[in-house]
Chain A
Amino acid sequence: MRTLRLMGAMVAVASLGGCISVKAPDKPIVIELNINIKQEVVYRLAGDAAQTIDKNAGIF
């Protein structure tokens, strides 16, 4: 009986302590387009891409 009461108290304490508060983010949620693309790849390709855009002006 005493064990049972102790367990009850423990559950009560645990449920109080286990409260998880969820806050809405204060910044807008940004959709990361194709998360697998790394910044270093973008930097490596930038020079070539700039030339490609210049040479194909009609479609850019």
Chain B
Amino acid sequence: MARIVHKVLGTMALAGLLAAALPGVALAQARDPAYAAARSAGQVGEKMDGYLGYVVAPSPTLRAVIEDINIKRKAVYAQKAQANNATVEEYALTSACLLISQTKPGEKYQAPDGSWQTRGPGAPMRDSRCP
């Protein structure tokens, strides 16, 4: 009896793990090629609010890809903000600090004055509250 219960519990735990891991797997994949290309080309950049923005007017196809990423980002920010007793905006702004730091030379990011900047070899211009 105990063995059966153990087995059932084990199966349930495995199912739970799989269910929890699946959305993570979907998000942990490589960047969408259209997004990766637009990012490298400087068509889209990292905004200071934690979302992607358009440096130049996007094609409808690109817009759909970027909007989808921003919706997924918001969902992740919301989930993590709740877990950390923070607001979505707080978590998103913190992420923006890191994402702007992680931009590669040539990529675009939004400076604290709202202007688009091209990342150079040095440190990017970031919000004064960034760590």
A residues bordering B, Cβ < 8 Å?
Answer: 28-34, 37-39, 41-46, 48-50, 52-53, 55-60
B residues bordering A, Cβ < 8 Å?
Answer: 24, 26-32, 48-49, 69, 72-73, 76, 80, 83-84, 86-87, 89-91, 93-95, 97-99, 102, 112-114, 127-131
Q: How far is the CB of A47 from chain B (nearest CB, A)?
A: 9
Expressed in whole angstroms, the Cα–Cα distance for A32 and B24 within the complex equals 33
Interchain CB contact under 8 A, A50 and B98: yes
Chain B residues in 8 Å Cβ range of A30: 112-113
Expressed in whole angstroms, the Cα–Cα distance for A37 and B50 within the complex equals 14
| Chain B residue with Cβ nearest A56 | B27
